[in-house]
Amino acid sequence: MSKLNVAVIFGGYSSEYPVSLKSAHNVICHLDKEKYELILIGITKDGNWFRFHGDIDKLPKDEWCNAKDCNPVILMPDRGAKGILEVVDKKSVFTKIDVLFPMIHGRTGEDGCLQGLFELTGIPYVGCGVLSSAIGMDKDIAHRTVQTIGVKTTKYIVAEENEGVDNIMRRASELTYPLFIKPACAGSSFGVSEVADENEFEAAVKEAGKFGSKIKIEEKVVGSEVGCSVMGSGQNLVVGEVDEIVLEYGFLNTHLQANPEKGSVNSSIRMPAAYSEEFRNKIKETAVAIYKVMECTGLARVDMFVTKNNEIYLNEVNTMPGFTTYSRFPLMMEGAGYSIEAVLEFLINDALTR
């Protein structure tokens, strides 16, 4: 049986570029080489596309992009072609692609932009489509969407940085401190600040503004943060185990730490979450309901808060969650009995049959 050509796409010009390199490396290591011929495509921080032929261990060290290992490449939007054009020795070489496997997080990769290009190509791809990706990336739109099915969300306002700090602070006066101030359209805790009072407000707004002009200012939910992974399409859904973040201080910011592979300095993950099986099932049901109302396909990680009164609030939905060695999505699936190899095969089959 001939192998499927699977294009793993990594990098991208977002703040989550380094996370993408680690995720892609882990995915590449665990994809079945007997079934899949891997075509590795990297996007630089400047948005340049290359096919990578080198040692995959260069990815997490960000040493992949060099003249020896890379050739310029174009993903063809022609639906009749379904492949890439690679420039080799000043000649164009065509390679057919059977499945696209994007391992790009954040803006321009996880927000529907890349998915729109994939739709033009007609090539099956892993993950959520244009609509659900766009909704998931914008925490304001995601919250408004899930409110339609009765899922609770934090009390918040949204602002544009160019409104001016004084005006934003005036509008935020209806909220109760402590607050979280964050970019509305970014992930992995980039630009997120916990604000105890007005003295910390301006600096937090400026920090969030570095990652996007739309800013979300929300009340802190007192309780625990839990997550639930979901994968599949339509009625063919697989739900992972519920995990729980145990914080020593601050908030979850693993990707911002120096050596996350060695463990977080301020948090740990409890698997399964320290709730009864009955309540964990309720969390799973909520995650699935959110997944469906956002019209997710492929996979997503739904992050939620649980208050002391066992009320469930949406935090955010990651439509292309991390796949690093320390990422929560594959660990949740492992908790439900699915190895990372089984997860990757499921995702590819889902893309092919969707």
Q: Please indicate whether residue 22 is annotated as part of the active site.
A: yes
Residue 87 and residue 96: Cα distance in Å, rounded?
15
Among residues 6, 12, 16, 22, the one annotated as catalytic is: 22
Q: Please indicate whether residue 143 is annotated as part of the active site.
A: no
Q: What is the pLDDT of residue 120?
A: 97
Is the Cα torsion angle 77, 81, 83, 86 positive or negative in sign?
negative
Asked whether the beta carbons of 241 and 332 are under 8 A apart, the reply is yes
CATH architecture of 134-153+222-353: 2-Layer Sandwich (3.30)
Q: What is the pLDDT of residue 257?
A: 47
Among residues 326, 334, 345, 354, the one annotated as catalytic is: 326
Question: Is the CATH number of domain 156-219 3.30.1490.20?
Answer: yes
Task: Match 């991390």 to its residue by tokens.
Answer: 322
Judge residue 296's burial from the number of C-beta atoms within 10 Å of its C-beta, 0-12 exposed, 13-18 middle, 19 or more buried: buried
Among residues 105, 139, 214, 216, the one annotated as catalytic is: 105
Q: What is the pLDDT of residues 78-90, one digit of tens each?
A: 999 999 999 999 9
Among residues 73, 227, 322, 338, the one annotated as catalytic is: 322
Q: What is the pLDDT of residue 312?
A: 98
CATH 3.30.470.20, the chain: domain bounds: 134-153+222-353
Q: Please indicate whether residue 284 is annotated as part of the active site.
A: no
Among residues 63, 198, 261, 341, the one annotated as catalytic is: 261
Among residues 6, 12, 17, 19, the one annotated as catalytic is: 19
Instruction: Please compute, for residue 32, the number of CA atoms within 13 A of its CA located in the half-sphere on the CB side.
Output: 15
Q: Please indicate whether residue 322 is annotated as part of the active site.
A: yes
Asked whether the beta carbons of 201 and 181 are under 8 A apart, the reply is yes
CB burial of 84-109 (b: ≥16 within 10 Å; e: otherwise) equals bbbeeeeeeeeeebbbbbbbbbbbeb
Look at phi and psi of residue 122 and say left if phi exceeds 0, alpha if psi is from -120 to 50, else beta. left
Q: Cα dihedral angle (285, 146, 245, 16), rounded to 10 degrees?
A: 120
* Cis before 272? omega within 30: yes
CATH architecture of 4-125: 3-Layer(aba) Sandwich (3.40)
Give the C-alpha distances (Å, rounded to integers) separating 199 from 169, 196, 210, 308: 11, 8, 19, 29
Q: Please indicate whether residue 198 is annotated as part of the active site.
A: no
Task: Match 């075509």 to its residue by tokens.
Answer: 39
pLDDT < 50 stretches in the chain: 255-257
CATH 3.40.50.20, the chain: domain bounds: 4-125
Asked whether the beta carbons of 37 and 5 are under 8 A apart, the reply is yes
Asked whether the beta carbons of 51 and 67 are under 8 A apart, the reply is no
SS (H, E, C) the chain: CCCEEEEEEEECCCCCHHHHHHHHHHHHHHCCCCCEEEEEEEECCCCCEEEECCCHHHCCCCCCCCCCCEEEEEECCCCCCCEEEEEECCEEEEEECCEEEECCCCCCCCCCHHHHHHHHHCCCECCCCHHHHHHHHCHHHHHHHHHCCCCEECCEEEEEHHHCHHHHHHHHHHCCCCEEEEECCCCCCCCCEEECCHHHHHHHHHHHHCCCCEEEEEECCCEEEEEEEEEEECCEEEECCCEEEEECCCCCCHHHCCCHHHCCCCEEEECCCCCCHHHHHHHHHHHHHHHHHCCCCEEEEEEEEEECCCCEEEEEEECCCCCCCCCHHHHHHHHCCCCHHHHHHHHHHHHHHC
Task: Match 């320390």 to its residue by tokens.
Answer: 326
Q: Please indicate whether residue 326 is annotated as part of the active site.
A: yes
Q: What is the pLDDT of residues 277-335, one digit of tens each?
A: 999 999 999 999 999 999 999 999 999 999 999 999 999 999 999 999 999 999 999 99
